[in-house]
Structure formats: C-alpha cells, structure tokens
Amino acid sequence: MEEKARYACTILHRRRHGPGGRVPTRVYKGGVTTREGAITSRERFVAGDALRGYMSVLVVLMHVVILGTILEGKGGDIEASFGKVPGRAILDFELSIYVFFTLSAYLLARPYVRALLLGERFPSVLDYGVGRILRVVPAFWILTTIVLVRFGARGAPHDQVAAIYGFVQTLDRGPVDVRMNQAWTLDAEMFFYLLLPVGAVLAALTLGRLRSNWTKVGIAGVVLTIVFVLSYRYRAGAQAGFPEANPLAMVCAFLPGIALAAIEALGAERLPGWRWGPAVAWGCLAATAVGLLLGMTLSRERLAARTLVGIVACSFLVAAPLVLQWTRGRTWRVLEWGPAHWLGIRSFSFYLIHTAVILELLAWARHGHTALAVTALTFPPVLVISAVLSALSYRFVELPGIGLRKPVVRRLRGPLRKLPAGAVPAPAITPRPGSSPSAPETPPP
C-alpha cells in the first residue's frame, strides 16, 4: 500500500514539475502526505499527538517548579523563587492546558461540523457517548482510586470524594482536591463532551435545511460568540460566588477548536495547495509567541486577562500545524519527533499520574533547598517514572477500555432496533450538491 502511495505521489509530482527533481514524500500512519497534495480534512491530525506530548511535559515542569518553591519556603510563589522575568516565563507553562481544550474541541467537533456544512452522514451520538465514557472513565477512576488509597483523602467527607469520581470536583471543593487537583480540567472536558452532541443536534435541526454554508456559519458564529462571552465572564469571576474553574466557565476555551473545524470544512476544496499556506502557518506561530510574551506581562492574579491570552495564543499554536497540513500535507519536523508522539498518545494517563509521583517524592524531599535545585533534581525522575507508569496504564487500562466501544455499542443498539420506525428521528441535514454521505471520523484517543 505504501509503495502504491509513493508511486501515485511520484506521478503527481512529475505531471506538475516535469520528470526531474526529488519527490518530497513522507508517509504517516493513517495516510500519505506530500508537498503536492495535502492530507484531506478527514485524515488524522498528524501533529496532534506531538502537541499533547510537549504540552504534557510543560505541565509536569510547572508542577515540579511549584513543589520546589514550597520546599524553598516560598509557598508556591514562582516569581519570588526565580525572579520576575523568569518566573513570569514559567507561569506561561500553565497556559499550555488550553492546547488540550482546543485539540479536544477540534477533533471531536470535526464530524459534526462536516455533517452540517458538507452534507455528510450525521455521527452516531450513541457511538460518540460510549466512546467518550470508555476513553476517560475507566482510567480516571482506577488511577484516582490508587492515589486515594496510597495517600488518603485527608479526612474529606464522602460527598467531596464522590465529586471527584463524578467529574464535579469544582462544585464541591475540599481538602481531598490536593490529591487529584489536576482533575478539574476533566470536569471541563466531560461537560464539553455532554454539550457537543446536544449543540450539534440543535444546529442540525435548526440550520440543517439551509442551503448556504455561509449563512449556517454566520448564525452559528453569533450564537457561539454569545456563549464565549458569557462563559468568559464566569471565568473572570464576574458572577459573585461562581467558581472560576466551574465547567460553565471553561466552555470558552473549547470554542476556538470548533472554529478550526469549521474553517477546515469550508476550505476542504480551496486549502490544498494554497500558496500562502506556509506563510499563514508561520504567522500563527508568530501570533502564539506574541501572546506568550503578553502573558509574561500579566501576574497570576489577573486571571481574566491570562485566560483570554492563553485561549488565543494556544488556538494559534494548534492552528499553525493545521494550516500547514491543510495546504501542504506535512508538518514541521519537531512535530514528527517519535518520543513526542509516543508521549502524546499516552498523555491522558501521564497527566493523571504525574502528581502522584510528585507526592511520592515528597516523602524523601527536604526543605531548605532552592527551587531551582529541587526542579533540576526532581524533574527528570518525575518525567521518567510518570512515562513508564503511563505506558502501563495505557496498555492495560486505556486500550482495553477503548476496545470495548464497538461491542458495547452493538449491545446497546439491539434494543433500539426493536423500536418502531421513526421513533428516534435523525437530524435533517440538506446534502451538499455533489456530495455523498460517508462514515463519520472517529477522533484519535
């Protein structure tokens, strides 16, 4: 199959540029990419796993630095330990979490957006829901249980422990949160997982029969802009007593990913081969750099401004390799690095496990060392141990859970087939002229 793909790329290259010259071809798992023919928008986002891998390392480094400041006696004050400019630069690492939100929204919204704009078959909500549950819940519950058994719940009442398992940790805060403090992001993810199919069905029912894609995008854009503003106000603390990390307050972080999915669908026929694609991709990287520099000027207390900067900067960071893939069918070599892809595939378990590793190291850590020394001595073992444990979790927990999706969906669809015809109406979507229904894409884990 690979040789046939290379042969086809060679023929395409010679037709456009003559018989001479080297054919710049690279083969990825899941598709062939060349400079002449971009990967179609239904292919796997080849840089997605590498982005997850790099961002996971930054998250771990950020948490190790905080540990170092505590052991130094600075109580988590990074600027006091490292200085104002280096401290602000390190604080930018926490913005990397918005890359995960943008990636999730983009990958999960793609099939729904394509159904709405390109007239493809509407994805199965049952398949989507079962897939999300089996992808997240087993690993999270098992790893959370191990952490709580090992380190204890710090005397927290049962309702606060149950809130962690129920993905509502941010609504019922307590001392046990220290054990799985990073789980607040999963609260936001699970809430978005619930909102996405509901919003997609509503969009299909209200906009599906419209002929003009620009009308659909315009109306949906206005609605999503209103949602973004309301959610951002919550995040900024505009509502008294509203938790800043409440899932409603984090919806704004996912919406740029939906916008990227819409751009991809609208440009499916125009983007491949677009001459300005590489320049726009580099421009997105420049915008990311400007956003991070702007973030360095903001203290951690300015949550609203840092949230907006993080969302915008990380959205451009995700958009940069996407534009390059859409227009040239390739990505930068730094995003092809094997270890980054390996870690990105296992980033979910890695993200859940690393705080437990840090807590374990506290047993032999000593106070009085500088934060820089603690970081230099602690970060490598935390990284290695977390990677090994995440590989085991991925192999023996995540993959079996993912493998159960199809059997569970088949079992659940059995009773649905016995319902009378029309009992479960499907969203009506007007097919795009010249398009044919196709199977929805299953986003990578």
Per-residue pLDDT of 338-356, as tens digits, reads: 999 999 999 999 999 998 9
Residues 208 and 234 both lie in one domain: yes
Assess if residue 438 is contained within a domain. Answer: no
User: Terminus-to-terminus CA distance in the chain, angstroms?
Assistant: 25
Domain presence at residue 437: no
Q: What pLDDT is stored for residue 366 in this prediction?
A: 65
| CB within 8 Å of 427: residues ≥ 6 apart | 122, 200, 201, 204, 205, 208
Tell me, yes or no, whether 58 and 25 share the same domain.
no
Summarised one tens digit per residue, pLDDT across range 412-440 is: 887 655 555 455 555 656 555 544 444 33
304 and 181 within one domain: yes
Q: Are 170 and 243 in contact (CB under 8 A)?
A: yes
> How far apart, in Å, are the Cα atoms of 157 and each of 172, 298, 431?
10, 37, 53
- Cα separations (Å) of 28 from 44, 291, 344? 9, 31, 16
Half-sphere exposure of 96 (CA within 13 A, CB side): 20
Q: Are 76 and 66 in contact (CB under 8 A)?
A: yes
Residue 359 has pLDDT above 70, yes or no: yes
How large a percentage of the chain has pLDDT more than 90? 48
Q: How far apart (Å, rounded) are the C-alpha atoms in residues 259 and 218?
A: 11
pLDDT for the residue 314: 95
What DSSP line would sit under 194-206, residue for residue? HHHHHHHHHHHHH
User: Does residue 140 sit in the same domain as residue 81?
Assistant: yes
Place of tokens 């130094």: 72
**45 in Cβ contact with 322 (< 8 Å):** yes
| Average of per-residue pLDDT across 272-287 | 94
The CA–CA distances, whole Å, from 259 to 220, 225, 319, 339, 367 equal: 10, 11, 10, 29, 47
User: Is residue 55 domain-shared with residue 198, that is, in the same domain?
Assistant: yes
Residue 25 forms part of a structural domain: yes
Dist. CA 23–CA 115, nearest whole Å: 35
Confidence tier at 241 by pLDDT (50, 70, 90) = very low
- 174 in Cβ contact with 148 (< 8 Å): no
pLDDT for 363 equals: 65
Is residue 175 domain-shared with residue 58, that is, in the same domain? yes
Q: How many CB atoms are located within 10 Å of the residue 407 CB?
A: 10
Tokens of 190: 């699970």
Share of the chain above pLDDT 70, in %: 80
Tokens 């979910």, located at residue = 348
Are 29 and 75 in the same domain? Answer: no
The per-residue pLDDT for 234 is: 82
Other Cβ atoms within 10 Å of 362 Cβ, number: 12
Report yes or no on whether pTM surpasses 0.85: no
Indicate whether 271 and 347 sit together in one domain: yes
- Name the nearest CA neighbour of 115 among 414, 381, 429: 429
pLDDT for res 168: 87
Same domain, 17 and 124: no
Tokens 């309702």 -> residue: 159
The verdict on residue 429 lying in a domain is no
- Tens digits of residue pLDDT in 173-199: 777 777 788 888 999 999 999 999 999
pLDDT for the residue numbered 83: 83
Segment (H or E) for 324: helix 303-328
C-beta of residue 224 within 8 angstroms of C-beta of residue 205 = no
The verdict on 205 and 315 lying in the same domain is: yes
Is the separation of the CB atoms in 429 and 119 below 8 Å?
yes
Q: What's the domain range around 30?
A: 1-37
218 part of a folded domain: yes
- 330 is a domain residue: yes
Q: How many structural domains comprise the chain?
A: 2
Cβ contacts of 261 within 8 Å, gap of 6 or more = 105, 106, 109, 110, 113, 114
Q: How confident is the model at residue 12 (pLDDT cuts 50, 70, 90)?
A: very low
Angle of helix 125-151 versus helix 158-165 axis, rounded to 10: 140
| 403 and 269 inside one domain | yes
Residue 439 lies in a domain: no
**338 inside domain:** yes
Residues 230 and 349 in one domain: yes
In whole angstroms, give the CA distance from residue 69 to residue 90: 12
